Amino acid sequence: MLDLGRNLHAKGGNLYLYDVKEGACDHFMFFEYLLEIGAENIYESKAGAIAGIFGALDRDTCRRCRARIFEECATVPPASEVSTNTVPGSLPSYAVAELIPGQRTTEKA
């Protein structure tokens, strides 16, 4: 697992874990993993991991993605919906969600 984490990091990525069982945390080797992976990359739940990781994703990549399988995907408009003619003072809900950390919305203005 450490080699996988190192390989991903060398390519600009990270290894993320979620729902690590209590018994695994007690194991001596887990502390080595924790130091290598980073506590910020370990999440209590799958939903927490997805939400946390989503915040670090490149929005341009998200716009081009056609899968849209996570709830958070609804906060980023597809590339075909991005308009360069924005009326000053009006922001669609997905833009507001990107400006307010932790704000989650699935509706579009």
* pTM for the predicted model, two decimal places: 0.59
Chain CA centroid to CA 95, Å:
16
CA-to-CA distance for 47 and 65, rounded, in angstroms? Answer: 20
What token pair was written down for 84? Answer: 């360069």
Q: What is the pLDDT of residue 29?
A: 67
Q: What are phi and psi of 93, to 5 degrees?
A: -60, -35
Q: What is the pLDDT along the chain (109 residues), one digit of tens a residue?
A: 778 888 888 998 888 889 988 777 777 567 777 888 888 888 999 999 999 999 889 999 999 999 999 999 999 999 887 655 555 554 444 444 454 445 444 444 4
Q: Residue 59: what pLDDT? A: 92
Domain ranges of the chain: 2-51, 57-99
| DSSP state for residue 43 in the 8-state scheme | E
